[in-house]
Amino acid sequence: MPIGDGNRLRIEQLRLEDLSLLGEIDRSEHQQFRYSVAGDQLISRRFDFEVPGWDPVGHGDHSVTGIVSFAQPIVARGADFLGAFVADEPAGLVILDTKFEAGLSWLALLYVDRVHRRGGVASMLWSATLRRSRAAGAAAVYVSATPSDSAVGFYLSRGCHLATRSEINDGLYELEPDDIHLIYDLS
């Protein structure tokens, strides 16, 4: 999809009642690498896994109901919910809690629809994330990233670094111990 051809891609502030848009994003992907952390090193190994789209009817973590239930309280307590649209079609969604902790913004969710990937959609949402985090007075953005090639590759390409032991957020680590915990310094 040619996003660079002008202004076809636009970002909109969304509301709690728009959370159902999550179900319209095709999250499926073919993962070829998986990351883990050993000491202070990021390690990748070959992996061959086809992540399916959202389960449209169940209630598990990978269902539409599950992802909306995860996002609902975060947006309800005031997190930013932004959508990137191509015409009227949602191409990517991000949820950002700029007041997660004193001086710390938390990127709670980022998905780009499969057909819109590698066109700069996430980069545009990331730029909005940084602008809003700075405006809120945050010194850093925290990301608990899926340990996949796309997610980790994306955040590293934006300049995130592996969280050190003292930077790791205990609550988020407990939630997702297999994620790659990353920091972007805003200073």
Ligand X SMILES: CC(C)(COP(=O)(O)OP(=O)(O)OC[C@H]1O[C@@H](n2cnc3c(N)ncnc32)[C@H](O)[C@@H]1OP(=O)(O)O)[C@@H](O)C(=O)NCCC(=O)NCCS
Question: What would the DSSP string read from start to end of 33-52?
Answer: EEEEEETTEEEEEEEEEEE-
142 touches ligand X (CB under 6 A): no
Told to check if 93 binds ligand X by CB under 6 A, we report no
Q: How far is CA 97 from CA 15, 28, 43, 50, 82, in A?
A: 14, 25, 29, 30, 11
Binder of ligand X out of 150, 162, 182, 184 (CB under 6 A): 150
Q: Taking CB under 6 A as the rule, does residue 26 contact ligand X?
A: no
Contact between 172 and 106 (Cβ < 8 Å)? yes
Residue 146 in contact with ligand X, rule: CB under 6 A: yes
CB 22 within 8 A of CB 110: no
Q: Which is nearer to ligand X, 105 or 146 (CB)?
A: 146
Q: Looking at beta carbons, which residue is closest to ligand X?
A: 153
C-alpha to C-alpha distance for 121 and 19, rounded to whole angstroms = 19
Phi, psi (degrees; rounded to nearest 5) at 83: -125, 140
Stretch of residues binding ligand X (CB under 6 A), selected from 40-48, 58-66, 67-75, 105-113: 105-113
- In the bound state with ligand X, the residue whose beta carbon lies nearer, of 111 and 132, is 111
Select 107 or 138, whichever has its Cβ closest to ligand X.
107
* Residue among 81 and 154 whose Cβ is closer to ligand X: 154
Rounded Cα–Cα distance for residues 9 and 82 (Å): 13
Q: Is 117 in the site for ligand X (CB under 6 A)?
A: yes
Residues that bind ligand X (CB under 6 A): 27, 29, 110-112, 117-123, 145-146, 148-151, 153-154, 157
